[in-house]
């Protein structure tokens, strides 16, 4: 395979599962047209670039061809790196122009709505499907003028790879997804995580439960699951979405889907950033406003000395732990959660688009606050329904998240 321009280690780009599948499909199509699968193939990427891939195990047997392309993920920490994206291409006699996709071993099957894919069909996202079809039409136009082509994509070991993704929670069972919007994998790209957050909310909306729980990581998700399932034991795992630092993208999608109740499971650091108006809460974006923490402490009767110490501190955790020491922990966490609600439900933010419940845990995972806003008024979704449906399918520029 031809790698993108060589750069320093740590910044090398790679290719998506979709791009590799398209290259293998193109090589198979050449095989059907000529009787021989080539050892390398120049393939069209979704972004319009053309890249040469090495092709392995190419063979033609009657009206079928087989080949695989090894995925190169560059410097991205991707569980599908070095996977063999395998295509079996079969002629469909008399079905002119038809291109049919099937999931082979290691490629997931869609079992839930909300992904922009047919339930029961293969987990091959729309952009890779189009990219594969474009490549087939370029090299097998004469074949397609009279017949169709069945594209079966397999990934040996894909079931094990899928355990490292969010696929099962999204209802994609039996393997990985075939993904990619540009064809290029960029190392440590945040676009994949953002897209997975949006997709997770789309799936949650289809469940009809009217709630999505947004958490910042594994600890807060465990906390939120424990608390919410005490009240609703059958609440599906797909109602819980780890949004990480991407609150803005998560809440924008909540509004788009018309979900009426949002639960935020957070700890004091992220909660403070939300209260101060940050909707991208990464540590490198903006520092915690400890003056705000001190102002919250003032509201609950903290002493002047304690307020000064909190304002001078580097973290919100210091202020929270000091208030706990003073016997003011419950009041402090409640007031901070209310401040976050007030910020997010302000008219220039999300207003009353949804009801907001903020659940706060300490660093041991114990609940320290649970505050609920007044009911919201969800907007109708693009599908004309409230809380059900999807507006688009999210594709990925890297593959290790779904």
Please report the pLDDT score of residue 116 as a whole number: 82
pLDDT by residue for the chain (402 residues), tens digit each?
Answer: 444 444 445 568 889 999 999 999 999 999 999 999 999 999 999 999 999 999 999 999 999 999 999 999 887 767 899 999 999 999 999 999 999 999 999 999 999 887 888 999 999 999 999 999 999 999 999 999 999 999 999 999 999 999 988 889 888 999 999 998 888 887 656 677 788 899 999 999 999 999 999 999 888 999 999 999 999 999 999 999 999 888 999 999 999 999 999 999 999 999 999 999 886 655 445 578 999 999 999 999 999 999 999 999 988 999 999 999 999 999 999 999 999 999 999 999 999 999 999 999 998 899 999 999 998 876 554 443 332 222 222 322 333 333
248 contact partners, CB below 8 Å, separation of at least 6: 279, 280
CA geometry: angle 184, 187, 191, nearest 5 deg: 75
65 contact partners, CB below 8 Å, separation of at least 6: 27, 28, 29, 31, 32, 37, 58, 59, 88, 89
Please report the pLDDT score of residue 233 as a whole number: 95
Please report the pLDDT score of residue 380 as a whole number: 56
DSSP letters for 118-137:
-TTSB-B-HHHHHHHHHHHH
Rounded Cα gap, residues 101 and 21, in angstroms: 12
Rounded Cα gap, residues 51 and 56, in angstroms: 16
Q: Mind listing the pLDDT tens digit for each residue in 91-122? A: 999 999 999 999 999 999 999 887 888 999 99
Please report the pLDDT score of residue 397 as a whole number: 34
Please report the pLDDT score of residue 150 as a whole number: 98
Distance of CA 283 to the CA centre of its chain: 20
Rounded Cα gap, residues 319 and 309, in angstroms: 8
């Amino acid at each position: 395979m031809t790698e993108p321009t060589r750069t320093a280690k740590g910044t090398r780009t790679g290719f998506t599962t979709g791009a590799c599948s398209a290259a293998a499909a193109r090589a198979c199509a050449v095989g059907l047209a000529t009787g021989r699968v080539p050892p390398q193939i120049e393939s069209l990427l979704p972004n319009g670039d053309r890249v040469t891939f090495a092709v392995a195990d190419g063979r033609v047997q009657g009206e079928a061809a087989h080949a695989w392309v090894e995925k190169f993920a560059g410097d991205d920490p991707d569980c599908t790196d070095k996977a063999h994206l395998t295509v079996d291409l079969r002629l469909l006699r008399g079905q002119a122009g038809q291109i049919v996709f099937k999931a082979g071993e290691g490629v997931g099957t869609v079992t839930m709505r909300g992904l922009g894919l047919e339930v029961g069909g293969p987990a091959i996202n729309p952009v890779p499907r189009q990219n594969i079809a474009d490549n087939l039409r370029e090299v097998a136009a004469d074949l397609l003028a009279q017949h169709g082509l069945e594209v079966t994509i397999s990934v040996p070991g894909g079931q094990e790879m899928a355990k490292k993704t969010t696929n099962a929670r999204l209802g994609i069972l039996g393997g990985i997804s075939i993904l990619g919007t540009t064809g290029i994998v960029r190392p440590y790209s945040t676009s994949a995580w953002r897209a997975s957050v949006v997709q997770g909310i789309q799936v949650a909306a289809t469940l009809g439960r009217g709630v999505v729980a947004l958490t910042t990581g594994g600890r807060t998700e465990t906390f939120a699951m424990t608390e919410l399932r005490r009240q609703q034991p059958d609440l599906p795992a797909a109602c819980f979405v780890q949004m990480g630092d991407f609150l803005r993208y998560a809440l924008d999608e909540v509004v788009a889907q018309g979900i009426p109740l949002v639960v935020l499971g957070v700890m004091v650091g992220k909660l403070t950033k939300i209260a101060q108006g940050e909707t991208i809460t990464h540590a490198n974006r903006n520092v915690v406003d400890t003056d705000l923490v001190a102002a919250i402490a003032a509201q609950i009767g903290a002493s002047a000395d304690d307020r000064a110490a909190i304002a001078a501190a580097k973290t919100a955790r210091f202020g929270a732990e000091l208030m706990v020491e003073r016997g003011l922990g419950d009041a402090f966490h409640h007031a901070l959660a209310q401040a976050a609600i007030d910020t997010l439900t302000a008219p220039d933010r999300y207003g009353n688009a949804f009801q907001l419940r903020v659940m706060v845990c300490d660093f041991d995972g114990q609940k320290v606050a649970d505050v609920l806003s007044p009911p919201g008024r969800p907007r109708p979704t693009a599908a004309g329904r409230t809380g059900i449906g999807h507006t688009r399918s999210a594709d990925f520029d890297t593959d290790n998240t779904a």
